[in-house]
Chain A
């Protein structure tokens, strides 16, 4: 794969006198020039509020905003554009489903199935429902290799199971979960499935209709797009049965002081002025991904993952967390006797940016009995040379702590 690093202006800088090596794409990806330009162009030429004005500018802004919705629909092969709801991020998308669908469909004692490997954003919204209406959470365990224990999953279903909320990929272990099977098993019990795709969306191609999940959420900023934009995909039949999440402008059909009727999908769930410029910037990110090709991205990241795994595994005392058969380009590890934060600081002095900590997955840290770990995560702009720089940094870590 040719190198795409040149498309990313931020990567052209030096950090502590060394070329920046960005290996934290799971936290957020960097932005290609086309996305930055799209936002700038929009503010220079096309900005007005959407779905309101009768004048040229507003119509132009509305057209660009809605064009992104269609692009997302096409990108994930959703059946309808109105099944694409713009939110502030994957976190807000999950909160929307928990508060809107959950509060209108769950009663005390009803159960939601999650897994140990969930990001806090797919745990806490359900715990809030636990406090608000008394639902119960059932947890799918994870094997030592970092794979969901499917036999245990099957046993968690009961007549009170009302939802399965599961990550597509683990943001720490990299594990790609067997979604098809997870969804089939849930549907066999008439239970809808919400998929947290935040850690998977930018790594693999998606097909909502083939997958048949009921909700799928992701964030633009983890897929080369701007911060502050997320997507909730939901099947029409479910979204139609859900009450609005927030009230305000845009989401109404008619308001009097006595009664309000709500707008149709998707506007029912988009109260207030959205992040117009950033949604429009996301169009360019999707266009960029399309140009590079999701298949090429997946292959490139897999090659880097294997290269880095073999290099790191050769370090004595280093333990890789997550050795699932199917993984996205995420590689976490701990090193005996050296805390992840110290590794992070020393790597930074070599210009290498990685994440150290619990990665918003404290239950998973508890599962592996570690307080924190180092996470290396790849984007399409990374190269073998970046892994080599990481290894030079690791040598320095061992030197400082020898």
Chain B
């Protein structure tokens, strides 16, 4: 039960049920679809960027508590950040959920995002946590029709 509690922490249940920044961003400058073909989870990430800063982010779609919470927490965390900062957060988060723990990877740096670390004990659910982030990566790299977790 403790691993399960670690996965389904209150923050995740809350963000899964009431995702923040959910819906279509009307004046988005970038838009990217992400898809997990194994389970059918799908998100569309909207970004309004100006001069290398993500001024606003929203997402739409459907998925499990983990994927919705991850997208919700991600959009909250990245608002107002520069592309350079976002790239750093992406790398940090990726290492955090992929279990590449090392000394400089402290929970503090990740803030609220650290709650998603619970997926490490559930290998089949890691992709749920990373769907929004794969989609973000495609936004950063640009020029992809649809990104998948596969």
Contacts and interface: CB of A to CB of B under 8 A. Distances in A.
26 contacts: A339-B16, A339-B64, A339-B65, A341-B63, A341-B64, A341-B66, A341-B125, A342-B8, A342-B16, A342-B66, A345-B7, A345-B122, A346-B4, A349-B3, A356-B39, A357-B38, A358-B39, A362-B40, A365-B40, A371-B40, A371-B41, A371-B62, A371-B63, A372-B39, A400-B8, A401-B13
A317 interface: no
Interface string A340-382: 1110011001000000111000100100000110000000000
Interface in B27-81: 38-42, 62-66
A357 B38 CA distance: 7
Interface string B90-116: 000000000000000000000000000
A358 B125 contact: no
A337 B17 contact: yes
A362 B122 CA distance: 25
Interface of B: 1, 3-4, 7-8, 13, 16-17, 38-42, 62-66, 122, 124-125, 128
Contacts of A345: 4, 7, 122, 124-125
Contacts of A338: 65
Contacts of B4: 345-346, 349, 400
Nearest to B63: A339
A126 B84 CA distance: 48
A44 B66 CA distance: 48
Interface of A: 337-342, 345-346, 349, 356-358, 362, 365, 371-372, 400-401
A358 B40 contact: yes
Given A339-B65, A401-B8, 16 more contacts: A339-B63, A339-B64, A340-B64, A342-B64, A342-B65, A342-B66, A345-B4, A345-B7, A349-B4, A357-B38, A357-B39, A358-B39, A371-B40, A371-B42, A372-B40, A400-B13
A380 B40 CA distance: 30
Contacts of A349: 1, 3-4
B63 to A, nearest CB: 7
A356 B128 CA distance: 13
Nearest to A359: B40
Contacts of B1: 349
A-B interface, 8 closest residue pairs, ranked by CB to CB distance from nearest? A339-B64, A341-B64, A358-B40, A371-B40, A349-B4, A357-B39, A342-B65, A342-B64
B59 to A, nearest CB: 15
A365 B64 CA distance: 16
Nearest to A341: B64
A371 B39 CA distance: 8
Contacts of A362: 40
Contacts of A401: 8, 13, 65
B29 to A, nearest CB: 28
A297 B66 CA distance: 39
Contacts of B8: 342, 346, 400-401
A305 B63 CA distance: 28
A211 B128 CA distance: 45
A339 B124 CA distance: 15
A291 B7 CA distance: 45
A341 B131 CA distance: 14
B84 to A, nearest CB: 34
Nearest to B13: A401
Nearest to A402: B13
A346 B7 CA distance: 10
A340 B63 CA distance: 9
B123 to A, nearest CB: 11
Contacts of B128: 341
Contacts of B40: 357-358, 362, 365, 371-372
Nearest to B17: A337
Contacts of B17: 337
B110 to A, nearest CB: 22
A192 B27 CA distance: 55
Nearest to B7: A345
Contacts of B124: 345
Contacts of A400: 4, 8, 13
A341 B4 CA distance: 13
B125 to A, nearest CB: 6
A49 to B, nearest CB: 37
Contacts of A371: 40-42, 62-63
A340 B122 CA distance: 15
Contacts of B62: 371
A356 B38 CA distance: 10
Instruction: With a 10 A CB-CB cut-off, give which of B16, B17, B65 has the most chain A CB atoms.
Output: B65
A339 B19 CA distance: 14
A371 B65 CA distance: 14
A189 to B, nearest CB: 36
A345 B7 CA distance: 10
A345 B63 CA distance: 14
A339 B122 CA distance: 16
Contacts of A339: 16, 63-65
